[in-house]
Chain A
Amino acid sequence: MKRTGIEIIVLDSLRVGYKTGKNAYPILPAISASSTGGELIAVIGRNGIGKSTMLRTIAGLQPSLGGQVILDGKSASDYSRIELARRIGYISTEVVRVSNMRVADLVALGRFPHTNWLGSIDHPGRMVIENSIARTGLTALRNRHVTELSDGERQKAMIARVLAQDTTLMIMDEPTAFLDIASKFEIVNLMLELTRDGKTIIFSTHDFNVALNQADKIWLILETGLIEGSPEDLLLAGAFEHLFESSVVKFNSGDGGFSMLTESKGEIFVKGGGIFRKWTEKAVSRAGYQVTDSMTNPYIQVPARSEEKWLLVMDGKTEGFSSIYELVRGLQK
């Protein structure tokens, strides 16, 4: 299955793993995948399955054990080191800590494959650097030392460095790993915007929601190999169920969420409507009750406004609770 032509990148029966001496230790079956470019591709799979190894192999930092990576119709092994660096940028979770290195200096290092032996940067190169800094929103921080950046700012600076490298492909190993929620969405949003500008970004993540909601395509890595497709295609094919084969958690293909597998404490009917009903149902099902559509004894009457009380009706007797928390505690008694 050798496809060439419009694909930016093709993994053709690629085998990844480690070599010691003459022995090769592949950690995954041969994998095949492709991208036509301009898309955000999320690589997901359980911990330790080999996501990082695969990304390092694609980036050319580690030799493959078989098969090939095809870039713009040509095998990656036919490119020189510099030609490869002009096509693929790489960001891992490794943090660059160098004293006296400013954001602008870090970004300028992205020009490495485009400069002469001294590394001097010409005027167009300088423009590329400034544009990369502006594109990632770091203009105000361009003279800040990299050791003084927050985690989110540092990740943006690393992205700016790869932008200055001017590659079509960006490989990112867990770009949102250490970030707080706000920074995480900022970075993911930036990545998404960059793909709309024509970049192809392949990133690994443990954040299933990001992969499901933001990625154009998912490369799902399982013990049996790689499955690719849009998140929705994979959802409908039931592919994620294999990913979360676990006794305590269940993946819900209906809403793309997870639920804990707990023993049911019985059925309960929640009467009422709107957002109050929705969250009340969520709370009681977390407490181990199965929400049902038919009347039960006891049942719950949810309020229409927050000033009113939640009512637990059992054998005709009614008990009022002023919050969902108290209701659930009362129910458990």
Chain B
Amino acid sequence: MFAAAPGEIELRRRKIVIFSLLTILLVFIFILDLLLGSVSIKPADIFRALFEGADSEVETIILKFRLPKALTALATGIALSLSGLQMQTLFRNPMAGPYVLGVSSGASLGVALVILGFSARFIPGNLQSLGNWALVVSAWIGAGAVMMLILFISSRIRDIMTILILGIMLASGISAIVSIMQYFSNETMLKAYVIWTMGSLGNLSSGQLKVLSATIAAGMILSLASVKMLNALLLGENYAASIGLNIKFSRIVIFACTSILAGSVTAFCGPIGFIGIAVPHIARNLFITSDHRTLVPGTILAGGVIMLASDIISQLPGSVNVLPVNSVTSLIGIPVVIWIILRNKKDKGSF
């Protein structure tokens, strides 16, 4: 009646094969992302640009534009996917993710407060100089506040669809507040904010990229360090406490981690949807496991691959046009979300 789940040896073999494949794919797609764009560049020129510094024009394109963009895509994919994985486990909700539950909105409220809200000292024209850390920290605070609200709600309501609807309400409410702020802000501020909301991987200064890389690296280390907690939390908080988990401490660690990951990305790249919710499910189904010792690294690799692929698609190789990356990730992620909803109807409550 049931398809027998794979045994120990089969699972380990599968793990090795998929980790290898994902790593190779990640390297391949990263290089592909450097190659493809409005100007076509030969692979040989890339290596020359990276290691020898030959043709100045190619070097400029690679080092100043494509490499930072590819690194941003990598960091974004990793960060959003990891925060999605942690939120899904913490809330025990397959639909959890930074975008759908309004955490990205919370981060954008923090950003809006910085860009639109405060004094003329923060002139949007030199957004880059206003302090990347101010931008990031305000996004963290916004993301953390929404996380807290969602946790408060989900401790009272178990039904995942209800929480999802509340997340949408929360996001709408926040965007209403932001609209009001836009109404009262001046033209240059407004323009800077609107461009930011479109979501882009390519507009980061080298200083911003450094801040993004540092925070995402910190988030990755924190995630890898919390695999045991995440595994215990799969049982639910009661059982997790009964096997010796410090619930409050682990909640703080995971909250901090997801807020840093989702907040940093949102601060610099704008809201990017559906990566956080979709990638963890892809990882679970690739590895057929619930063990975070496999899922955390697996999600890191899969998140990087999918975000880089989205970036390649968004720049429409060979054409001068560029699609908003948010649209591409939505089109990739939404079918996964629909699949989860349909499966959840059948197999109630599990994730």
Contacts and interface: CB of A to CB of B under 8 A. Distances in A.
Interface of A: 59-61, 81-82, 84-86, 88-90, 92, 94, 96-102, 104-105, 109-110, 112-113, 115, 117-120, 143-145, 147-148, 165
Contacts of B239: 90, 92, 94, 96
A140 to B, nearest CB: 10
Nearest to B225: A117
Given A88-B242, A100-B289, A100-B290, 4 more contacts: A81-B244, A100-B284, A109-B234, A120-B293
Interface string B220-262: 0000010110011011101101111110000000000000000
A196 B6 CA distance: 35
A275 B236 CA distance: 52
Interface string B320-351: 00000000000000000000000000010111
Contact of A104 (B8, B228, B235, B242): B8
A90 B245 CA distance: 13
A96 B2 CA distance: 19
Contacts of B94: 99
Given A118-B293, A119-B228, A112 B350 contact: no
Given A112-B232, A113-B244, A99 B351 contact: yes
B5 interface: yes
A90 to B, nearest CB: 4
Nearest to A148: B2
A98 B351 contact: yes
A102 B228 contact: no
A144 B2 contact: yes
Interface in B162-197: none
Contacts of A118: 227-228, 293
B82 to A, nearest CB: 17
Interface string B1-42: 010111110000000000000000000000000000000000
Contact of A144 (B5, B231, B235, B238): B5
A170 to B, nearest CB: 11
A34 B4 CA distance: 45
Contacts of A144: 2, 4-5
Contacts of A92: 238-239
B302 to A, nearest CB: 15
Q: Which 4 A-B pairs have the closest CB atoms?
A: A85-B244, A90-B242, A119-B228, A97-B350
Contacts, number: 94
Nearest to B240: A112
A90 B225 CA distance: 26
B45 interface: no
Contact of B350 (A98, A119, A165): A98
B2 A82 contact: no
Contacts of B241: 60-61
Given A109-B231, A118-B228, A89 B4 contact: no
Contacts of B4: 143-144
A167 to B, nearest CB: 10
B243 A112 contact: yes
22 contacts: A81-B244, A81-B245, A92-B239, A96-B235, A98-B234, A98-B290, A98-B350, A99-B350, A100-B284, A100-B288, A100-B289, A102-B5, A105-B291, A109-B235, A112-B231, A113-B244, A118-B293, A119-B227, A119-B231, A143-B4, A143-B6, A144-B5
Contact of B236 (A94, A100, A110): A94
Q: Which of A86, A92, A102 counts the most chain B CB atoms within 10 A?
A: A102
B310 to A, nearest CB: 25
B242 A89 contact: yes
A90 B350 CA distance: 21
A72 B245 CA distance: 22
Contacts of A98: 234-235, 290, 350-351
B243 A147 contact: no
A115 B227 CA distance: 12
Given A99-B350, A100-B284, A144-B4, A112 B236 contact: no
Contacts of A101: 234, 290
Q: Which of A61, A90, A98 counts the most chain B CB atoms within 10 A?
A: A98
Contacts of A89: 242
B148 to A, nearest CB: 20
